[in-house]
Amino acid sequence: MRWPTASRETDLGALHEPSEVAGASLPGLVLVHDVWGRSAHSRALAGDLAAEGFVVLEIDLYRELEPVEIDDPGRFIRSLSDPRVLADLEAGARWLETQPRCAGRKIGVVGVCMGGSHALLAACLSDVFSCSAPFYGILSYDHGMLMDPDGRDLAKKPTSPLEAADRLRVPLLASFGSEDPMVPQEDVDALEAALARSGTAFRIDRYPGAGHAFLNRTRESAYRPEASAAAWDRLVPFLHEALD
């Protein structure tokens, strides 16, 4: 059953929740946006998750930054401090725990693109979340768009998702497009091997014919309806099983 939802702005972003579920509290989710920040995509995704029975904080990672102008997404992501972002996600989870609708319930984290990278890092480096579902997060800081030509700033990027993966702490469902030029399949293979060393339950889904941002209905060139629907049908049961 899908529930009607209501949304309101908060100091951390926007809160989305079912509007007609009386009584019992509900599990919570911190939703992490892509490099472009809060958008129609993150708003729709948060609303869809709320309709499935979750209280969702659509967190705004840029709320304390100067007006953000992005001309080079890779360079911009490299400028962000991963420890600061993870602390922000943890603050979001703790805030959700104070909300009456989440009283006594577990909190998960879901992220897309850049947010997928941070959702994976949170699953490996944080003790706050009970599950994680990253979508097509970039995995390596040693090649591709997140490789810094001047050398990695270890204060901002101390541990890549690939380097953290063998420390997975919570159940994980990771989704990738098989045709994603930003996330080579070799990196996904390496992720799978590292996650297996953690001893924690995980699943990696690869969607043929899908590239980066295949879940994003606001990007016609990237959106893949079949892959998106299949991923959603796996995501929602995973989240309920891990958080209920």
Question: Is residue 109 within 8 Å of residue 89, measured between CB atoms?
Answer: yes
Place of tokens 């998750």: 49
pTM over 0.85: yes
Structure confidence by residue, pLDDT tens digits, 61-98? 999 987 888 999 999 999 999 999 999 999 999 999 99
Domain ranges of the chain: 5-243
Output the 3-class SS for 20-75. CCCCCCCCEEEEECCCCCCCHHHHHHHHHHHHCCCEEEEECCCCCCCCCCCCCHHH
Measure the CA–CA gap between 222 and 123, rounded to whole angstroms.
26
- Helices 82-97, 114-125: axis angle to 10 degrees equals 70
Backbone angles phi, psi at 37, to 5 degrees: 85, -170
Report, at the CATH architecture level, how domain 5-243 is classified: 3-Layer(aba) Sandwich (3.40)
- In the chain, what percentage of residues exceed pLDDT 90? 91
Place of tokens 């030509």: 149
